[in-house]
Amino acid sequence: MTEGTGSRLVVDRVDVLPGRPFLLVSGRLSGRPVGIGDAVTIRYGDRDPVATVIRTVELHTRPGVTTIAIDDSLRDEVGPGAELSTTA
């Protein structure tokens, strides 16, 4: 990500809700706002980066925290401390 042109979310928590085919990933978002359909890259530990798409954005968490939904199949690819980023 080039500074100032994309978005970055450092994951604080990951939640799974029964009946929803998503992982809800919450953290502090910096950079530009994100939206449904935006492509993101997940970097987590020493694993290879993984590309995915934002399925939904939820803003009902505590102030300053953004929650986005990504595909449940990525459960092993994201956890606290992971970084999700977009580019402009």
pTM: 0.84
Q: Hey, what CATH class is 7-86 in?
A: mainly beta
- CA gap 87, 71 in Å, rounded: 20
Amino acid, single-letter form, for residue 66: T
pLDDT (tens, 9 = 90+) of the chain, 88 residues, equals 334 578 999 999 999 988 888 999 999 999 988 999 999 999 999 999 999 999 999 876 667 889 999 999 998 899 999 999 987 5
Laid out side by side, the sheet with 7-16 consists of: 50-53, 39-43, 83-86, 7-16, 22-31, 66-71, 56-58
